[in-house]
Amino acid sequence: MAGPSAKQLVCVTGAGGFIGSWLVKELLQRGYVVRGTARHPEDRKNAHLHALDGAKEHLSLYRADVLDCKALSAAFSSCAGVFHVASPVSDDDPEVMSAAIEGTKNVVNAAADMGVKRVVFTSSYGAVHMDPNRSPNQTLDENCWSDLEFCKQTKNLYCYAKTVAEKTAMEEASKRGIQLLVVVPSLTIGEMLQPTLTLSVSLVVASYMKGKKKYPNAVAAYVDVQDVARAHVLVYENLAASGRYLCIGDVLHRSEFLQMIRELFPQYPITTKYVSAF
């Protein structure tokens, strides 16, 4: 059974980001009234949100940082649901990653304080696949978690932080009586609505166009950003939904992915050399 969407007020944290922008668009198309949070709502980099169909009537941007509980509470006031998409991304700054974990805790508690009963959290495939002790023949599903010690040993701070943040969200939601739904997307690519280059596109596509010398000899899971946005809304509207949901489109060896890039952009010297994944 799907929940009502017409005129329902919901909030999206990190509304101006890659996934957040598409999620706002999807919600507006489905008739929701949307509040989006941004650290600097007036910044020109958020102008694309105001250009979305229905934004003039049904979108407002609130100034809020995930470390500011008071600002989060103001943004969540009177909302039926919250989509927590915002998350700092870094593999070399422990403070940024700590903020991602604390920010998730703040979002869940601010939602509870404002009477919100349903929160959708954007996790990451990085919280699932980082485990060297798992059999290569094992099928990964929603019961799989990344090994925190392995994440630290390999300096994958982003995977570490997303794993801890997701578990923190679950713990806080259980304490506060929040129904938490978790979307776990794999490497998210696709058309960008915002004017700035996303980290995933920068690392996985643009870096090879700029002359990156080698690619990892490994497979990776990919998903289109529009499918990720739809997944968030589908789990929110399905009142029987619960727990984690992997969101994966295709699993390709990096060589296959780069061959697609070569065919699309033959003018760039995409490397054919590989290096061991770990």
Neighbours of 56 (CB within 10 A): 9
CA distance 131 to 140: 11
Q: Are 222 and 247 in contact (CB under 8 A)?
A: no
| Beta-ladder partners of 118 | 81, 179
Q: Which of 186, 123, 189, 126 is nearest to 158 (CA)?
A: 126
Q: Identify the three-state secondary structure at position 135.
A: coil
Of 155, 162, 212, 214, the catalytic one is 162
CA distance 37 to 40: 9
162 is catalytic: yes
CA distance 185 to 263: 26
Q: Which residue has the tokens 């061991």?
A: 276
- Who's near 146: CB < 8 A, 6+ residues apart? 126, 127, 128, 129, 130, 131, 159, 160, 163
The set of catalytic residues is 162
